[in-house]
Amino acid sequence: MRGCFSGSISRIALLACLALSASACVSAIPVPDTTDGVWSQSRWPESTVASLSRGRALYVNKCSGCHSLYVPSTIAASRWPAMIEEMTRRANLHPDERDLILRYVITAGRSGPAGAAHSVVSSSGR
């Protein structure tokens, strides 16, 4: 009986660690705000904070399923279209989803240096 109980505690501890690691990854990925919405609308008139938030959610959910996420500001805006296009088929993205992700990462990364080294958010949060 004791072995079953300690096994349950170990599983609970493992799940808690995984949940904390996942939340650390997501917190490094910026959440769009009103300023982002205004900037994004200057490039894509139909863009809104809500559509940028949807793009962020897709980026986090679809992309992190296969690899660590890049912090958007560490990739030059000119590189994102090719990177997203390459992953579109692998991630089984619809064209609308691809566009939402692309608009989000370009908007979220606009303040970063164009030639910055890649910063990756791993599942361990580092």
Residue pLDDT, tens place only, 1-47: 555 555 556 665 544 544 444 444 456 899 999 999 999 999 999 99
Residue at 33 is within a domain = yes
Residue at 2 is within a domain = no
The residue segments making up the domain with residue 96 are: 25-121
Handedness of CA 79, 81, 85, 90 (dihedral sign): positive
Task: Say what the pTM is.
Answer: 0.71
Residue at 71 is within a domain = yes
Number of domains in the chain: 1
Cα torsion through 94, 96, 115, 28, rounded to 10: -90
Residue at 18 is within a domain = no
In the chain, DSSP finds a helix count (H) and a strand count (E) of: 5, 2
Find all residues with CB under 8 Å of 48, minimum gap 6, and list them. Answer: 37, 40, 41
- Counting Cα atoms < 13 Å in the Cβ hemisphere of 37 gives 10
